[in-house]
A and B are shown apart, each in its own frame.
Chain A
Amino acid sequence: MATETGGRRALARPTAAREAVSPLAGEVARRHRSNAGMATRRFFRHRLAVAGLVVTVALISVALFAPVIAPTSYKDASLIDANKFPSREFLLGTDAIGHDYLSRIIYGLRTSLLVGFAAVAVAIAIGIPLGLLAGLRGGWADFLVMRVVEVMTAFPGILFAIFLVTVVGSGVGNVILVIGVTSWVTLCRLLRAQLLTLREQEYVTAARSIGANELSVAVKHLLPNALAPLIVAVTLAIPTAIFTEAGLSFLGIGINEPTPSLGKMVADSAQFIRVYWHLALFPTLAIALAMLGFTFVGDGLRDALDPRQQ
């Protein structure tokens, strides 16, 4: 229904020039664009999603250009300036060692986002192949993958992450690895479930009955249709990874000095909280902002890409 309206609208547009070059390519490109166009329009109608997108883009830019934006390096400290409240000189104050707190937060954000994106990349690298294996192959492969998934879900996520970090040690690389290893299950299960449902659809049976082989059915029909929910799940996995990193560092087993981490800053602030409120407030605000931004984008994508599922 929705595609039909989009198609008609696109037909009305004067695209004769392109069609003259290759009518078929024009047809495909146009349909593709109108679908994506509608999803984009649905996304931008969503006020929270747009706000989330603005916040997310701002945070990513701050993290990317940290060396340019931050007033000082995250390592610079002078004990004379320790424990200063926010002022014109130090916009967010300084911590107990005399770091400029704004710089620490900017670099902490950079750590958060780096861990968030990289950990999700690890989760994708594990979860997607296993999900494909289970969903397309079925049989023994499916049975084995699902038993692994079952055991993984019996370990409560954050506890497993704590446990693994003490096994492999702390530090940025290990934290990324641990979060990736503990969060692939969602992606794997989702992809498998999608593939199992899609396999039974009429158009897949139709493709098979006209002689399409399994590989082309998988590539042309199953994967593109499983993509939308997967994109949403991947987007929503980022704030979860950010949260896990902050949590591990809050407990003192995540990122090591001198790399700044928002979670560690929150933990360090606790003993001074009665006096130096700024040490506790700003990193918690940064964590909350990052979590909210990415989650709203994910929720908005869900509504935009899959309008049936509200």
Chain B
Amino acid sequence: MARYILGRLASLVFVLFAVSVITFLLMHAVPGGPFDTGERRLPEATRQAQLEKWGLDGPLWQQYLRYMGGALRGDLGVPFQSPTETVGGVIARTWPTTVKIGLLTIGVAYPLGLALGFVAALRQNTVLDYAVSLGATAGLIIPNFVVAIWLILILSVQLDWLPTGGWGEPSHYVMPVLAYALAPTALVARYTRASLLEVLRADYVRTARAKGLAERRVLGAHVARNAAIPFVTVLLPEVPNILTGSIFIEAAFRVPGLGRYFVTSTFTRDYPMIMALVLLVAALWGITYLLTDLLYTVLDPRIRLAGMPVGR
């Protein structure tokens, strides 16, 4: 087991390394640097001095090594778009907003999706089931910025209950969370329904019923536990997705979160910020996939991951 985890961590480090190199190369392959985007062209001497100041002179491999050396020691550099802060500082300032929306979204989407999926499965082939299934399909397909606009049209323009966007008051949370929660709710409902239906048909559930167990115990002890397996594999990977925020939601509701830096940083050629964001997201995803696979083996001891020893 330990060997397996070490192997996976090694492969994660490889992926992060590859991602950092590719990002670095692509970033510098873009014509124009951070000091060429302003209104006026800088005098050549000033430009040189700026490049030297930010460590952008010298060959690429040297710049890469210098950056990674700093990054590994926790120094992510200074963002060009706001040179008075550090990259770590910007992330620390804006990520909590994004995470707040993300956690609220998870808090709304997972229980709601679970409940809807449960109801749909237990009332299979009724109007309720069809409504949940259709709603879930639509919820997964329609882009969240489209949903965001519809929410604004209904809740702000038509009913005038909520502000169209902005940040600071509790009323600003409602629509971003609703728009953001729709897709995960749909996903959770869909998978809960599918895996419940499969488990409800299983032999051991029939056995449990046949030996006279109360329906509540059948559902609680036999159905719920087994239905949780696909839940973990499909839904855990959604978490980093939600926590890194939706650029679209933040743009639609003018939320000052981390999301907009994904766009502005590539625009302004803010090399340190781009590197930090890409590596942050890639690392979150890698770790979540590893956790998912491990949890999978805990929930279903029959599952053995490739490269895992037979006797643990």
Interface residues of A (CB under 8 A from B): 48, 147, 150-151, 154-156, 158-159, 162-164, 166-167, 239, 243, 246-247, 250-253, 266-267, 269-270, 273-274, 277, 280-281, 284, 287-288, 291-292, 295, 299
Contact = CB atoms under 8 A, between A and B. Distances in A.
Interface of B: 11, 15-16, 18-19, 22-23, 26-27, 29-30, 134, 137-138, 141-143, 145-146, 149-150, 152-153, 156-157, 164, 241, 244, 247-248, 251-252, 262-263, 266-267, 274, 277-278, 281-282, 285-286
Contact of B145 (A250, A273, A274): A250
B272 to A, nearest CB: 15
A246 B145 CA distance: 10
Contacts of A166: 30, 266-267
A287 B147 CA distance: 11
**Interface majority SS (helix, strand, loop, mixed), chain A:** helix
B143 A155 contact: no
Given A156-B281, A295-B141, A284 B262 contact: no
Contact of B262 (A147, A162, A277, A299): A162
A273 B141 CA distance: 24
A20 to B, nearest CB: 50
B247 A158 contact: yes
A43 to B, nearest CB: 17
Contact of A273 (B15, B153, B278): B153
Contacts of A167: 26-27, 29-30
Nearest to A276: B157
Give the residue among A163, A246, A251 with the most B Cβ atoms within 10 A. Answer: A163
Contact of B149 (A243, A247, A251, A284): A284
A164 B266 CA distance: 9
Given A147-B18, A150-B15, 4 more contacts: A162-B262, A162-B266, A284-B150, A291-B143
| 4 closest A-B pairs by CB | A166-B266, A284-B146, A154-B282, A151-B18
Nearest to B21: A151
A250 B150 CA distance: 15
B70 to A, nearest CB: 21
Contact of B143 (A147, A159, A247): A247
A155 B282 contact: yes
B280 to A, nearest CB: 11
Given A247-B248, A291-B143, A154 B26 contact: no
Given A154-B286, A250-B145, A163 B278 contact: yes
B287 to A, nearest CB: 11
B153 A277 contact: yes
B138 A292 contact: yes
A162 B27 CA distance: 12
B22 A156 contact: no
Nearest to A294: B141
Contacts of B281: 156, 159
A273 B282 contact: no
A93 to B, nearest CB: 14
Nearest to B284: A156
Nearest to B152: A273
Nearest to A150: B15
A48 B136 CA distance: 14
A155 B248 contact: no
A273 B142 contact: no
B157 A274 contact: yes
Contacts of B18: 147, 151, 154
Contacts of B285: 154, 156
A199 B146 CA distance: 43
Given A166-B30, A287-B143, A292-B141, A159 B278 contact: yes
A280 B152 contact: yes
A280 B248 contact: no
A288 B142 contact: yes
A167 B274 CA distance: 12
Given A154-B282, A251-B248, A270-B252, A163 B26 contact: yes
A139 to B, nearest CB: 17
A158 B285 CA distance: 14
A251 B153 contact: no
A46 B134 CA distance: 13
A291 B19 contact: no
A238 to B, nearest CB: 12
Contact of B153 (A158, A246, A267, A281): A281
B268 to A, nearest CB: 10
Nearest to A164: B26
